[in-house]
Amino acid sequence: AGLWRASLEGQEQISDPLRDCPDGKPVNLYIVPMFKDGNPVGALFSVMPHDDFSRHLVMTFWQDEGFSFLIKKDGSVIAPSRRVEAAGIVNYIATLAALPQAGHTLAARVQQALDSGSTAFLQYYSLSGNRYAYLMPVGINDWSLVSVLPAYMTEDHLRSVMLGTGMLGAVQILCILAFIWHINRVQYNASTRLWQQVYVDTLTEGCSYTRFLMKASEQLSELPGRWALMSLDIDNFKLVNSILDQETGNATLLKLYRLLRAWAGRPHELVARHTGDVFVALLPLTGERQLEQRLDELCNQILHTRVDENDSYRLVPSIGICLLPENPLQDSSLETWLDKSTLARRTVKGNHEQLYAFFDESMESIIRYRKNIENDMVSALAREEFEIYYQSKHAASDGRLVGAEALVRWQRNGVQVPPGDFIAEFERNGFIVNLDRYVFLHVCRQIREWRKAGLEPVPVSVNISRLHLYDPGFVERYIRMLDVAEKDRKLLQLEITESVLLENASLIKDTVSRLRAQGVTILIDDFGTGYSAMSMLKEIKVDGVKLDKSFLVGIGSPRTDTLLRSTISMCRSLDMEVTVEGVETAHEVAFLRSLGCDTIQGYYFSRPSPAAVFTAMLQEAQPHD
Ligand code: C2E
Ligand code: MG
Ligand code: MG
């Protein structure tokens, strides 16, 4: 509270190391006052990992013989480094007081210097030898910088110069002056770096978020006209770090920053990295249509940004824009507007068809709904609220039951929620991985139950999210799980949605071929909804494709019929089994049969139904002796 008060009185503040709530690692809080007409009107704060802080502030010099560190008014070390710890200093006053020679006098001098905010020069014998120390306030809080140097260093340093000149008597004084000059430089560096940390983003070396907020508030209150605030991030960016490596991840962020900088290079346009892969920008609004064109161009540039040589990851941005009213800071804060652009960004996250959205009030309820889902999902899984429905698959030739697809439903507070309402959200927050495993294990259990009941099982396909495919350990883990839960690998088929192949072909190709080498059947779901499905088939070999129901729209027209006929015959000639989904009429069935389609799934035969209903169908379909 003291820090806040001081910052509201106009002083810049840095906190002592505090424990950060999310991960318990120590952080420092920077608080920078904001002025209007010379009066402080508020404060901005940012949080910095304490490790970064100490790395920049605690330094060694003169071949690592000397080192400096910050202490507080009570003598305790603020940013300990290995060097300081090795010297056994936790509290500098206590360390001095424990010295055998004049320890208490030294400690008292330091205490006095700290109390009065003045400098002090000390010379003492520590266990490791003769030491010089220089203490000076850094002008931030009540902190002082202590620099310690072995005396022999300063002497050796100068002796070579002085020797033979008859000035050896002056060595002592000169080396002290040199030392003080050096310490001043260290102190200068320390405080410049400190402020750099507040104003410069360490990764991009561009404007920091704190600086962005300051400049943006300034411009919004001082310059006339309309503005747009933008928030941007990359879908599943953390995968770049995990699939490739941290270094590539950082290089990619730098590339993105530069790209954004070049894109938003007009007067008064500001760009900064917020955290991780989130960037923000402030743009003078010249026209909505014009802004849309610029956004299209930006998305295009990002989609074509290469992450590495092999193009193993495709960058897909999500962008939210908030168009600000005149005098935006009159009734709302800058953060409120930024939150709105973030909200708009979240509505398009994971949506690869729409890469940006403009904020409107209705988005608040969407986000609230998603938040509710997120709050409930973990307990819902534990309470087994997710139920697996089965939709039958039939041979096109004679309508025989040949398999099923497992489709999940959420029985939430007595209401059945369709997957369309929660799968996308679970993909965004990663929970889909748990849900898919749950579905998988339940299907295995169901197959065992069919066997126990004397029924011959049919293969069941499960949908697996793109997130699994990015996980390098997925194949091994999946095979292990399969070996325990169901020995017959052909009974569990995996459906992978087509769009994932377009995102990262080389990575998925590897995962798919490793799964197939282990005897797992892979089906491409929603085939034909992407824009380069055919070319992808050259790259990746799979067992079958499921044609999306959109293929059936317009059946009877020559163009639709030709497209369907040639797609089916092409897939079949590539040795892939063809399933058509969403088949609702006898007419469609007859037509598909005539085209040589293998399998049909759709309401015509059955809707997705609870396990008991499907089990009855399976019973019915058992071969009679
Ligand atoms: P999908 O895998 O393409 O599933 C087919 C969808 O089409 C299902 O919707 C199904 O109910 C619907 N459908 C089937 N026959 C017909 C028909 O004749 N007419 C019409 N209009 N629709 C039909 P559903 O069950 O709502 O699932 C939607 C999507 O949710 C699925 O698309 C799948 O991508 C995803 N999904 C469902 N369960 C899971 C799961 O356990 N894990 C994952 N990762 N995704 C799942
Ligand atoms: Mg499916
Ligand atoms: Mg499908």
- Pocket residue to mutate for ligand 1, from 463, 523, 580, most atoms within 8 A of Cβ: 463
Residue 306 has pLDDT above 90, yes or no: no
What is the mean predicted confidence (pLDDT) over 9-14? 67
Residue 383 has pLDDT above 90, yes or no: yes
Is the Cβ atom of 588 under 6 angstroms away from ligand 1? no
What is the mean predicted confidence (pLDDT) over 331-341? 90
Residue 126 has pLDDT above 50, yes or no: yes
How far apart are alpha carbons 598 and 545 in whole angstroms? 10
Most confident of 123-137, 176-190, 221-235, 416-430: 221-235
Is the Cβ atom of 602 under 6 angstroms away from ligand 1? yes
What is the mean predicted confidence (pLDDT) over 331-344? 91
- pLDDT number for residue 508: 83
Asked which of 6-15, 234-243, 437-446 is least confident by mean pLDDT, the reply is 6-15
Q: At a CB cut-off of 8 Å and minimum separation 6, what does 82 contact?
A: none
CA 407 – ligand 1 centroid, Å: 6
- pLDDT number for residue 166: 43
47-67 per-position pLDDT tens digit: 767 766 666 555 566 566 777
What residue's CA is closest to ligand 1, atom 43? 463
User: Do 499 and 526 meet the contact criterion of CB atoms below 8 Å apart?
Assistant: yes
What is the mean predicted confidence (pLDDT) over 617-622? 95
User: What Rg do the C-alpha atoms of the chain give, in angstroms?
Assistant: 33
Q: What angle do CA 64, 69, 75 make, to 5 degrees?
A: 140
What residue's CA is closest to ligand 1, atom 8? 407
- What's the pLDDT band for 142 if we cut at 50, 70, 90? confident
Q: What is the pTM of this model?
A: 0.62
- pLDDT number for residue 19: 74
Residue 331 has pLDDT above 50, yes or no: yes
- What DSSP string runs through 321-366? EEE--SSTTTTS-HHHHHHHHHHHHHHHTT-SS--EEE--TTHHHH
Question: 95 vs 17, 60, 87, CA distance in Å?
Answer: 21, 19, 10
- Pocket residue to mutate for ligand 1, from 389, 407, 601, most atoms within 8 A of Cβ: 407
Q: What angle do CA 258, 260, 261 make, to 5 degrees?
A: 60
How far apart are alpha carbons 22 and 321 in whole angstroms? 28
What is the mean predicted confidence (pLDDT) over 143-155? 74
- pLDDT number for residue 55: 60
Answer with the residue of higher pLDDT: 59 or 229: 229
What is the mean predicted confidence (pLDDT) over 70-83? 78
User: Do 537 and 566 meet the contact criterion of CB atoms below 8 Å apart?
Assistant: no
Residue 600 has pLDDT above 90, yes or no: yes
Q: What's the chain's average pLDDT?
A: 85
Most confident of 88-102, 196-210, 386-400: 386-400
Residue percentage of the chain with pLDDT more than 90: 48
Is the Cβ atom of 439 under 6 angstroms away from ligand 1? yes
- What's the pLDDT band for 579 if we cut at 50, 70, 90? very high
CA 8 – ligand 2 centroid, Å: 57
